[in-house]
Homo-oligomer: A and B are copies of this chain.
């Protein structure tokens, strides 16, 4: 995940300088330069192997599209039935040869079966499933709360690498619609989705979708293969000609791919001290480029570092 933040080439260097103090200053111009402090890159460099976890091949999807592989980490804790159904669809080759059929600017890219007249038959996968918009909080034992306040939920943070929210009053938890999160398209009925139509967020987080859609995972690698797809000319960004469709060569569970062909990534544990430091590096950046530290981080701006397995 790219976390460099400078705007000019010169600031690339500036972004690599490193410790200091930064309080939120809602002022005109800070009185003095901010001290430099560790960046996310510094935190990653100083992290220990135990701060990272490898992807579980049985809960990882590879979607092969023109240009390369999109890697999706599934979140069975939050959507057990949908995750199982998507894996069944993948194993029964449902998505192979289907296509990306929608690209709407600042919104989503979506794939599935565009042929409404002759839809691809499903084998043993379910055509609809009960909604999994939220789960009981007790099901998610890996939640690390962010101290930063959020407008959409009483509590937000990360659950084992996924941005999430929860409400102690209702006792429910849910994944949030940040950039790169993958959800299940549905019709008006809450229980009308199955995972045969999936989308990924490619713009500013549409958090109002939270608790309205079953969210099943997150793109770990390959977002630029999706985010640059030409926007569709039809309403809601759908492509209106078959030749616009972006073919999905294959869509597989990583565990079903020969080991030599697997991508080896690891994700920083979001319940680690290293992750806390990575978030703080973004919440209150040091100088010299930054002049005013934000003193806050939005859930969907908090980095979740991913790297090639060491």
B228/A291 in contact, CB under 8 A: no
Distance in angstroms between the alpha carbons of A186 and B105 in the assembled complex: 27
Interface residues on A, range: 35 or more
Distance in angstroms between the alpha carbons of A27 and B263 in the assembled complex: 38
B208/A285 in contact, CB under 8 A: yes
In chain B, what residue has the closest Cβ to A295?
A: B152
Main secondary structure of the interface of A (DSSP, over half): loop
Distance in angstroms between the alpha carbons of A14 and B106 in the assembled complex: 20
Distance in angstroms between the alpha carbons of A97 and B108 in the assembled complex: 33
In chain B, what residue has the closest Cβ to A167?
A: B26
- Known A8-B187, A223-B105, A235-B4; judge A298-B207 contact (CB<8 A): yes
Q: List 19 A-B contacts (CB under 8 A).
A: A2-B106, A5-B208, A7-B183, A7-B199, A7-B209, A8-B185, A28-B172, A29-B134, A106-B180, A106-B223, A150-B151, A151-B297, A152-B296, A179-B203, A208-B285, A210-B294, A224-B231, A227-B228, A228-B230
Top-10 shortest CB links A-B: A26-B167, A208-B294, A151-B296, A224-B231, A10-B187, A27-B170, A7-B185, A211-B292, A188-B288, A228-B228
Given contact pairs A4-B104, A11-B187, a sample of 9 additional A-B residue pairs in the complex whose CB atoms are under 8 Å apart:
A2-B107, A7-B199, A9-B116, A26-B211, A28-B134, A106-B223, A207-B294, A208-B294, A212-B291
